[in-house]
Structure formats: structure tokens, C-alpha cells
Amino acid sequence: MSDQIASDQILRFIFDNTAVSGKWVQLERSYTETLGNHHYPPAVQRLLGEFLAAVSLLGATLKFEGTISLQARSTGEIPLIMAEATSNHEIRAIVHGAELSISTDFHTLLANGTLGITIDPVGGQRYQGLVALEGDNLAACLEEYFRRSEQLPTRVWLAADAQRAGGLLLQELPGTSGIERKREQWQHLVTLAQTVQADELLQLPAQTLLHRLFHQEDVRLLRSDALQFQCSCSRQRTESMLVSLGRAEIESIIDEQGEVAVTCEFCLQAYRFDAVAARQLFDGGESRH
């Protein structure tokens, strides 16, 4: 028996002799570190946890170096919520403008919402898919996205509380042989998975949950990876961003504030440049390298 796969890990598995694969994720430390010093209302925090679990599941499908992000914009109580995962299993997430949110209802939080899924390969072509947030929860909206884009049947279950977030994803593998039998196997496994409870996603190690749901099936565990909260911000990236704003803009910020201060919205790290340092970004442009 292998070690228990639990918090802050993502696991891929398949069902032997079927054309169905699965992924399981559970976040604890990476989730609380993402929350950090942000003070979100409880329902907003739980939704952020679901976004983080979801993007971790999607990130596990990246077959190249890059980033995948899940972003929802709405006219509801949450104008913007987004979560990101890299192919190195680093995750981060943010909510904007929802400090005063009081609802616990998905459609009030994300009224008239659109969900964007962006895949950004390093040095490659960026791809974005969009789907209206019409389902009853994030999982249902993701299923709708898969239905429209990949046409591989996919089911998703997500859960989050104040400490943990978790998720389970089942997906049919491509291929057309034995379609009738494939359909039956898929239905059978989905029926079993549908009994999963939020508590089980949040509390149980992967092996225990998979045994509980699929004990008569041949589940084969594949790779598992540790996930961690890691912000991709840096002083160097902040410098590039300031340079792209242009000298005039930076001068006007120095005039108003005496310095240039940039706070990363994800991790709240502050990057400060006094007037001399800020001007040097432009003066030293060529000679520094």
C-alpha cells in the first residue's frame, strides 16, 4: 500500500479496462496561503477555494510549460474572481471588489457572469475559451465548458470550507471503439462518483475516497504532484511593468506621491521605488545590461 495522498496534492488515476480517467485534488496549506491576509466574506472565500481546486484539476492536464487560468467576471457581488495554476503545480488566486458581498447564492455572487478559461503556453499561442455562468455552481459551469469545447464528456465535483478545498474530475478518454460499452462504463462510474459528499472531498485522503466510491472497480493510481501557493510576482517583473507605463506616467506618480509603490494584488507583497530608483529604470535602460 502506497503512502496516503492527501492535502496539497493532485492525483491522476484511470479505471483499468475502461476509457475513463480521473483527477483528484485536495488543498489545505496552499489554500490558506492563497487567502493570506485577504479578508474575504465566507461565501466568497469558499467560492475562491472552489476556483483554486478547479484550476488545479485543469492544470494537471497541461502537457507543456505554461499557465492555465480560470476567471469569472460578473455584474453581481463578485465583479472579478480568478485562479491560476502553472505546469509546475504553483497556484494562486484573487477576488476583486467583493469585500461587501453578503450573498451565499452562486447566481447573486456572479450575476450575468462569464467564465473564461485561458491557456498560456510559454512561448506559444494563447488560447481562451468562454462560457456563460448559467449552471447552478462552478462545477456545472465547467462541465458546460467541456461539453462545448472538448466534446469529451467530463464531470466535476468541487467543495471548499474555511480551511480546505477539494475536487474530483472524471473524463472520458478520446477514441471511438466500442462506443456502446464506453457509454455504459461512463454512466456507471459517474453514478458512483455522484454519491461523493463535500466532507469526503475535503477530509479523506485520495485512496480512502476512491476506495469508498469505486471499490468494485479497478482504479489505477498514476502520478501525484505536490501543489503549492506561489506568486509569480517579482521586483524584476514590477520594473518591467513600470517601464511599460512610460516615463511620463512614472514622473506624474512621483510628483503626486514622491515615490512609486506597487502592491501585488495576489500576495500583497509591496515593491517600492524611490524617485531616484524609479527614474533609473529609464536612464539606465541600455547601460545596465
Q: Which stretches of the chain bind Zn ion, using CB under 5 A?
A: 231, 233, 264, 266-267, 269
- Long-range CB pairs of 62-66 (<8 Å, 24+ gap) are 62/87, 62/119, 64/121, 64/122, 64/124, 65/121, 65/122, 66/119, 66/120, 66/121, 66/122, 66/124
Rounded to 5°, angle at Cα 112 from 143 and 74: 95
User: To the nearest whole angstrom, how small is the minimum distance from the Cβ of residue 269 to Zn ion?
Assistant: 5
Least separation, in Å, of the C-beta of 265 and Zn ion? 8
Provide, rounded to whole angstroms, the least separation between the CB of residue 239 and Zn ion.
14
- Of the pair 35, 231, the CB lying nearest Zn ion is at 231
Question: In angstroms, what is the minimal distance from the CB of 79 to Zn ion?
Answer: 20
φ, ψ of residue 18 to 5 degrees: the values are -135, 180
11 or 52, CB closer to Zn ion?
52
Indicate the residue among 26 and 71 with the shorter CB distance to Zn ion: 71
DSSP state of 286: T
Residue 264 Cβ vs Zn ion, minimum distance, rounded to whole Å: 3
Contacts 24+ apart (CB under 8 A), 147-155: 153/186, 155/190, 155/193, 155/194
Which of residues 71 and 224 has its CB atom nearest to Zn ion in the complex?
71
Question: Which residue, 10 or 94, has its beta carbon nearer to Zn ion?
Answer: 94
Q: Residue 81 phi/psi, 5° resolution?
A: -140, 135
